[in-house]
Amino acid sequence: MAATYSITLLTPEGKLHEGIASSVIAPGVVGSFGVLAHHQPMIAALQAGPLQITAEDGKLIYFKLTGGLLEVTASHDVIIIADTATTV
């Protein structure tokens, strides 16, 4: 089983997703990037595009973002603050 971390997706309307993930692929402003467990802390700007979350059970969860920020915290959790996000 892959290492995991908690992930939270927030929009101005509230929490859209919260769960445990093994990876996420996000639409960064200079290209898509992935985050695995134990990633170093960082903050990245996001552009419009698809967000792919791989849940701990291997299920793929997709959202469409219009931009925002992604933070990998010091405790290696991921928080995404999106301008808007919809489930795909």
pLDDT digits (tens, 9 = 90+) for 25-56: 999 999 999 999 999 999 999 999 999 999 99
Q: What are the chain's domains?
A: 7-87 (2.60.15.10)
**Can you give the pTM of this predicted structure?**
0.94
- Whether residue 2 is predicted with pLDDT greater than 90 in this model: the reply is no
The pLDDT mean for the chain works out to 97
Share of the chain above pLDDT 90, in %: 98
User: What local confidence, expressed as pLDDT, does residue 18 receive?
Assistant: 98
b/e map of 46-82 (b: 16 or more CB within 10 Å)? beebebbbbbeeeeebebebebbebebeeebbbebbb
